[in-house]
């Protein structure tokens, strides 16, 4: 093992600062087939994402999935791409900027950067940048409210992998789930109330979370329990009774059984049953992305309306909502306790 050289102590001041690295899943660099293929190769090549024997999975990944899926995914990305690029990257960058500003207003001189677990800017690159800024202490905060080995643990893996290459490691803190954090739940409730004040209330509020293979849950992943707890707390904050909201799971991949009920079939049943209006929120995504803007706001809408539903509303993710940024400040302050940040 070779560790990268560090500046000699006499050549650089001793690091003394504190940094925060916000981490999200990732995105291709462009909505093109080659860029999506590179992204999917990294994403689906992670053993945390696909828990299958490598000798069986990698030939399938490189021999079939990466030959057929990138073009279809690139077409979907093109429907949501913006002048700022990927929506997920644009919102993550803005959240980091707003968090930095709020912390500085509170006299907390903390360096804040954002990174992606897959794609750019990479976690290792941004940890290097925080070190170069003089950070002796770094808090890594995955932007996944509900913990899963496929998401939060993948971020932690990337941090540990970076640490194995570094000679002089900073102090590190790795945050976990915040599915029941009061500020996060209040921000979600506020976002939904704002939408209802402007557009009226639905017959049913559908809370759609990203899916997970059922086998992973059976092996002890706490993700489904945390999703249901978030949904329960959110419904409580909104004053909803049983039957006024439903919790579902989206983004199924492959033929294996995933967490149920599935989002699309649930919307189809609601439409067939004569439900007039459905509003959909995605509490597991703090930033709008392909899974919310294309899969829900476009495809799920079509599913519900074609099944007989009359009106469909997608309620945007938290994005740059001030209540969410204040909740993020609270989370950071909670995890920075005991570290100098002035």
User: What percent of the chain is predicted at pLDDT more than 70?
Assistant: 97
Please give the domain boundaries of the chain with CATH numbers for all domains.
Answer: 16-179+324-335 (3.40.50.1400), 182-314 (3.40.50.1400)
**pLDDT per residue as tens digits for the range 91-125:** 999 999 999 999 999 889 899 999 999 999 999 99
Residue 210 in marked binding region: yes
Sole residue written with tokens 């293929």: 37
- The pLDDT assigned to 342 comes to 63
Q: What is the pTM of this model?
A: 0.95
Locate 118 and state its tokens.
């897959």
Give me the half-sphere count of Cα atoms (radius 13 Å) on the Cβ side of residue 221.
Answer: 24
Q: What is the rounded distance in angstroms from the CA atom of residue 278 to the CA atom of residue 304? A: 8
- The pLDDT assigned to 3 comes to 84
Model confidence at 5, in pLDDT bands (50, 70, 90)? confident
Asked whether 191 and 321 are in contact (CB, 8 A), the reply is yes
Sheet holding 245-250, edge to edge: 245-250, 204-210, 277-281, 311-314
Q: Which of 131-135, 185-189, 286-290 has the lowest mean pLDDT?
A: 131-135
Q: Where are the alpha helices (DSSP H) in the chain?
A: 33-44, 54-60, 66-80, 87-105, 123-132, 152-163, 182-199, 214-218, 223-238, 263-272, 290-293, 301-306, 322-335
Q: For strands 17-27 and 110-119, give the pairing.
A: parallel
């Amino acid at each position: 093992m070779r560790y990268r050289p560090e500046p000699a102590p006499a050549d650089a001041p001793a690091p003394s600062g504190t940094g925060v690295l916000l981490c999200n899943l990732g995105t291709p660099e462009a909505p093109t087939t080659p860029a999506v293929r590179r992204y999917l190769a990294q994403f689906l090549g992670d053993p945390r994402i696909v828990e299958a024997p490598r000798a069986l999975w990698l030939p399938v990944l490189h021999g079939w999935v990466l030959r057929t899926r990138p073009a279809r995914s690139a077409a979907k990305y093109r429907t949501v791409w913006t002048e700022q690029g990927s929506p997920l990257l644009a919102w993550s960058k803005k959240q980091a900027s707003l968090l930095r500003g709020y912390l500085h207003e509170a006299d907390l001189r903390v360096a804040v950067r954002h990174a992606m677990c897959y794609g750019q800017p990479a976690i290792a690159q941004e940890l290097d940048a925080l070190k170069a800024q003089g950070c002796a202490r770094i808090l890594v905060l995955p932007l996944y409210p509900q913990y899963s080995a496929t998401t939060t643990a993948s971020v932690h893996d990337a941090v540990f992998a970076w640490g194995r290459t570094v000679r002089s490691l900073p102090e590190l803190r790795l945050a976990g789930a915040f599915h029941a954090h009061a500020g996060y739940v209040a921000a979600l409730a506020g976002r939904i109330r704002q939408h209802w004040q402007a557009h009226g209330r639905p017959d049913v509020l559908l809370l759609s979370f990203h899916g997970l293979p059922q086998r992973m849950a059976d092996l002890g992943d706490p993700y489904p329990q945390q999703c249901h707890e978030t949904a329960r707390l959110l419904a409580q904050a909104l004053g909803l009774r049983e039957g006024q909201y439903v919790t579902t799971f989206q983004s199924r991949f492959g033929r294996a059984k995933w967490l149920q009920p599935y989002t699309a079939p649930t919307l189809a049943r609601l439409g067939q049953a004569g439900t007039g209006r459905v509003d959909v929120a995605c509490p597991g995504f703090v930033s709008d992305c392909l899974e919310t803007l294309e899969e829900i706001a476009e495809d799920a809408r079509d599913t519900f309306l074609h099944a007989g539903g009359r009106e469909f509303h997608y309620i945007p993710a938290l994005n740059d909502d001030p209540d969410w940024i204040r909740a993020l400040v609270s989370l950071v302050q909670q995890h920075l306790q005991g570290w100098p940040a002035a």
